[in-house]
Chain A
Amino acid sequence: MAVLVREHTTVHRGQGPTITRQRRRAFLVLALPAVVLYTIFFVGPTVASFWVSLHAWDGVTEMRWRGLDNFTLLFEDEVFLAAFRNTLAILLAGGVLVFLLSFALLLGMRAMTGRRFARSVIFFPNIIAPIVLSVLWGFLFSTDGLVNAALGGMGLDAPNWLGDHLFLVIFLGLIWTNTGFYVTILMASTDRIPRYFYEAAELDGAGPLQQFKHITMPLTWDVVTISAVIWTISSLKVFDFIYAFGGTSNDLPPIHTWNTAVFIYGQTFGGRVPAYSFGYASASAVITLVSVVVFVLLLRRVMRRDPIQF
């Protein structure tokens, strides 16, 4: 017995650290390729853009130190300010509309037959190239396109959408293409709420809106929060959809429709005569990144509530 115990302890002492060491080595071997690639080609450039934003640089000649001048210049640049306003409009007003529309669709589709099919159709734009969506959307709103044909049919004036209201068209298009994603997420989480909650509420005389306010909202709050974070991030990434609207007229879309992503492209590689102002564009990249962080933190703060278990 004593021998056995001693044997056991020695075995334990001998092997324990080797196993942990072995496990640690295995951990490293497995994770290393991804970590290396990600660090060199993703994290490195992210950090570098902060450094570049403090310089004047065309990518070829020597960098010249400018300190924070790029940033002060940006905030006096009408083009950038307009682009930043557009980005915020998409993020905030667009976000509110996307979520209102998603909830409306959710309520409308609750009792619908064939809702799975409906959901697949609404989700569909998410797997299509934004450029294609942009072409289709632009075509709908063209001077003799379907929207104007419909307006004309109702005896209304047909505005020159793509000429006079291009940003509005883009804005609505973004809402159209994105809503399906949020409907899908929210539908998955509302489907988890037991039916008898609603039955009980109905017996108590609660209407659909009251049920929505007192049952659906509180129980899906977590998912709503995460969806809002996803919207924040993805709305700042929008590029292709806006860019493609420049396709038939010029290399870049009209300046008043730019968001910060198009601004960065326009200041560097885009246009007929690329500007290659790497430092200046990096400053706006830094502002974009800071906005992501600020908005995500704010959202988490504002929307934090105690989770409800059910």
Chain B
Amino acid sequence: MVVVNLAVLAWMLITSLREHREIFASPFAWPSFAWDNYAEAWRSADFGVAAANSLVLVATAAPAVVVVAAPAGYALGRSIGRAAASLTLYFALGIGVPVQVIVIPLFVLMERLSLVNNLFGLFLLYVTVSLPFTVFLLTGYFASLPAELEEAAAIDGASRLRTFWTIMLPLARSGLITALILNAIGLWNEAFLALVFVQSTDKQTLPLALLGFLAKQQYSGADYGVLFAGVTILVLPMLLLYVWLGRRIVEGMTLGTGK
């Protein structure tokens, strides 16, 4: 399985550098380095606009999720009492709700707010659908921090808000960064909401551009070299991130399952 994964990845990168004819004629030969594929993908499939949209969305929505979820995570993770416990459960239940279950009322709601086919609308949706998991993750993270520092701050007369801002937030930096990265990955790859809520080409995100490109190919004849160039544009940032921060990503995504 390891070999298969590596092979598929290498094969994807190499194919993206081939001429179309070459892919089927000599599938295992060294590519002719057709960098034109990338230029072609960038131009013909509107990958340029889509990449910019995706970048803007991820760069704003992922930090926004953390900004909204961090105080909530702190409040829920560091309070004892029935209110905090039931609110924690309230958020955790959201993890079990598939997006396709809420998409219909959501569409009507967004339409009434005139936020359909609108990047701000998509931003808003991305923030909310990411909330349950992020709050859950950060609640667990804040709960695991030592209580002594917080008590010391309370004795020194710091208010709860101040304690949160000056003491706990810096302590939780590692958890916040993990949450940020996981959301960035998830939103970069997100396709379902974009598919439903974006209609015009100039507002589409990268996964949509790729889908559009797939659909277009049946009319104009398939050029798999260009297709794989498009795929690589979508995958490469994630691959680099993974090589750079792999351990943190793996641990974050599987967190909450161990003890």
Contacts and interface: CB of A to CB of B under 8 A. Distances in A.
A34 B132 CA distance: 9
Given A127-B185, A184-B250, A285 B96 contact: no
Contacts of B160: 22-23, 26-27, 30
Given A129-B234, A222-B259, A181 B253 contact: yes
Interface stretch (A5-13, A92-100, A210-218, A223-231): A223-231
A54 to B, nearest CB: 13
A114 B234 CA distance: 28
A35 B227 contact: no
A43 interface: yes
Nearest to A293: B96
A52 B9 CA distance: 44
A136 B231 contact: yes
Contact of A59 (B108, B164, B235): B108
A38 B24 contact: no
B101 A46 contact: yes
Interface in A21-54: 22-23, 26-27, 29-31, 33-35, 37-38, 40-46, 48-49, 52
A223 B257 contact: yes
A135 B227 contact: yes
Contact of B105 (A29, A44, A122, A251): A44
Interface stretch (B35-43, B55-63, B68-76, B170-178): B68-76
A48 B103 CA distance: 10
B111 interface: yes
Interface string A166-185: 00000000001001010011
A42 B98 contact: no
Contacts of B207: 129, 131, 240
Contacts of B161: 26, 29-30
Contacts of B129: 41-42
Interface residues of A, number: 86
Contacts of B72: 30-31, 33-35
A35 B135 CA distance: 10
Given A33-B71, A240-B191, A269-B107, A42 B250 contact: no
A198 interface: no
Contacts of A149: 27
Given A140-B8, A236-B98, A239-B192, A282 B104 contact: yes
Interface residues of B, number: 85
A107 interface: no
A105 B100 contact: no
Contacts of A244: 211, 214
A303 B215 CA distance: 45
Interface in B72-126: 72, 74-76, 79, 83-84, 87, 90-91, 94-109, 111, 124-125
Contacts of B246: 120
B47 interface: no
B242 interface: yes
B153 interface: no
B159 A30 contact: no
Interface stretch (A67-75, A156-164, A260-268): A260-268
A288 B95 contact: no
B26 interface: no
Contacts of A41: 106, 109, 124-125, 128-129
Nearest to B227: A135
Q: Which of B102, B195, B238 has the most chain A CB within a 10 Å cutoff?
A: B102
A159 B52 CA distance: 41
B164 A30 contact: yes
Contact of A292 (B98, B131, B217): B98
B211 A131 contact: yes
Interface in B142-185: 159-161, 164, 185
Interface in A105-141: 105, 118-132, 135-136, 139-140
26 contacts: A27-B83, A30-B72, A30-B164, A38-B128, A41-B129, A42-B129, A43-B94, A49-B101, A49-B104, A105-B1, A120-B246, A121-B2, A124-B9, A126-B253, A127-B241, A128-B235, A129-B210, A131-B211, A144-B24, A230-B257, A239-B191, A243-B195, A247-B211, A248-B214, A264-B104, A285-B102
Interface of A: 22-23, 26-27, 29-31, 33-35, 37-38, 40-46, 48-49, 52, 59, 105, 118-132, 135-136, 139-140, 144, 146, 149, 176, 179, 181, 184-185, 188-189, 192, 222-223, 226-227, 230, 233, 236-237, 239-240, 243-244, 247-249, 251, 260-261, 264-265, 268-269, 278, 281-282, 285-286, 288-289, 292-293, 296
Given A37-B68, A189-B258, 18 more contacts: A30-B75, A31-B71, A35-B87, A37-B127, A42-B94, A43-B94, A127-B185, A127-B242, A129-B191, A136-B8, A184-B254, A185-B257, A237-B98, A243-B195, A244-B214, A247-B214, A265-B195, A269-B196
